Chain A
Amino acid sequence: KNEVEQSPQNLTAQEGEFITINCSYSVGISALHWLQQHPGGGIVSLFMLSSGKKKHGRLIATINIQEKHSSLHITASHPRDSAVYICAVWRHGNKLVFGAGTILRVKS
Chain B
Amino acid sequence: NAGVTQTPKFQVLKTGQSMTLQCAQDMNHEYMSWYRQDPGMGLRLIHYSVGAGITDQGEVPNGYNVSRSTTEDFPLRLLSAAPSQTSVYFCASSYSPGYSGNTIYFGEGSWLTVV
Given the contacts A86-B42, A94-B48, A48 and B101 also touching, CB distance less than 8 Å:
yes
Given the contacts A50-B100, A90-B98, A99 and B42 also touching, CB distance less than 8 Å:
yes
A51 and B100 alpha carbons, distance in the complex (Å): 9
A44 close to B106 (CB less than 8 A): yes
**Which of A41, A45, A49 interacts with B104 by CB under 8 Å?**
A45
User: A97 at interface (Cβ–Cβ under 8 A)?
Assistant: yes
Chain A 71-108 against B: per-residue CB contact (8 Å), 1 yes, 0 no?
A: 00000000000000010101010111111110000000
B100 close to A49 (CB less than 8 A): yes
A90 close to B97 (CB less than 8 A): yes
**Which of A29, A31, A41, A100 interacts with B99 by CB under 8 Å?**
A31
For B43, the closest partner residue in chain A by CB is A98
A51 and B101 alpha carbons, distance in the complex (Å): 12
A residues contacting the other copy or chain, number (CB 8 A): 25
Question: Which residues of A are found within 8 Å of B108, using beta-carbon distances?
Answer: 41-42
User: A43 at interface (Cβ–Cβ under 8 A)?
Assistant: yes
Given the contacts A41-B109, A42-B106, A94 and B42 also touching, CB distance less than 8 Å:
no
Give 29 pairs: A residue, B residue, CB < 8 Å, sorted on A: A30-B99, A33-B104, A41-B109, A42-B108, A42-B109, A43-B90, A45-B103, A45-B104, A45-B105, A49-B100, A50-B100, A51-B100, A86-B42, A88-B43, A92-B98, A94-B31, A94-B50, A94-B97, A94-B98, A95-B48, A95-B58, A96-B35, A96-B92, A97-B45, A98-B35, A98-B42, A98-B43, A100-B41, A100-B42
